[in-house]
Copies of this chain bind each other. A is one copy, B any other.
Amino acid sequence: MGTTQLDQQQPEPKHRHLKTVLTAALDTEFSVGQALPNERELAARFGVARATLRQALDQLELEGRLQRRRGVGTTVAPPRVGVDVSPRHHTWPGGPGDAWVTTDCAPAAPPAAVARLLEVPARTPVEVVRRSLVAQGQTVAEEHLYVPPAALPPADGPGAPHGAERGHGVLRRLRRLEPGGQDRAVELGSATAEQARLLDRLPGSPVLVVTTRYLAAGRPVAAAVATYRADTCRLTFGDEPAHPSGAD
């Protein structure tokens, strides 16, 4: 990062040029995990206001090139983690090979958009199973799985009133049904305060929101809203495996 001054000729915004310069420096002069100089130092070095420098850093963080932590500093981020989110016809959440960890479960009314997906009336309480996904030592995603109890076979016992144990019961009941397909959507969102806490980010951080609808006998029986850290995750949709089914 020998550059100490910008000499700008194009009518290109400074922050964009700055981003270009920093990208080149990251590619050539820094290694993963290495700390950058602090923002005041960098701004001075490039002869811009700190706010302008921050515009460039914001983008590099969005692109997963940098990792910033308040009170700590800015470091070069490792490459994004690939997370497989292929729809699998023949499996339910919580089946074999599912790396998600159930953390909690309690009945609650789903958001309006989820109620529509599930084709249940608004404000109908459903089971809400909360799960999280850890990859490479970091929580990379958080999920709310909404399951209307009416669609499930009866429980084989009294069941826990709440907590992970209740969630396991819901998933067990779900797996007794014959899977009837899934559909999925991915869009950009921003983390709520609670999601931010779980994902170790600030509220409002960009996230990839994956909405999945699970069908059985042609009817929606569950809907999942999974929130992935956009800075550290790459969602992969591999081809269907060669064997048609491995989890009945």
**Interface of A with B (CB < 8 Å)?**
16, 19, 51, 59, 62-64, 80, 82, 87, 89, 181-190, 203-204, 206, 208, 230-231, 233-240
Q: Judging by beta carbons under 8 Å apart, are A188 and B206 in contact?
A: yes
Known A62-B206, A206-B62, A206-B206: A239·B87 in contact at CB below 8 Å? yes
Contact yes or no, A87 B204, CB < 8 A: no
Give the distance in Å from the alpha carbon of A82 to the alpha carbon of B186 in the complex. Answer: 9
Provide the bound-state CA to CA distance between A62 and B188, in Å: 7
Name the contact of A63 in the complex, choosing from B184, B185, B188, B240 (C-beta under 8 A). Answer: B188
Min Cβ gap A63→B in Å is: 6
Cα distance, A238 to B237, chains bound together (Å): 12
User: Taking the full assembly, how many copies of this chain does it contain?
Assistant: 2
CB-CB under 8 A from A231, the residues of chain B are 188
Residue of A19, A231, A239 with highest tally of chain B CB at under 10 A: A239
Bound Cα distance A89, B237 (Å): 12
Shortest distance between the CB of A4 and any CB in chain B (Å): 24
Contact A59–B187 (Cβ < 8 Å): no
The winner among A181, A183, A187, A236 for most chain B CB atoms within 10 A is: A187
For A62, A89, A203, A204, which residue has the most chain B Cβ atoms within 10 angstroms?
A204
CB distance from A180 to the nearest CB of B (A): 9
Contact B63 A237 (CB under 8 A): no
Known: A59-B204, A89-B240, A204-B59. A235 touches B190 (CB 8 A): no
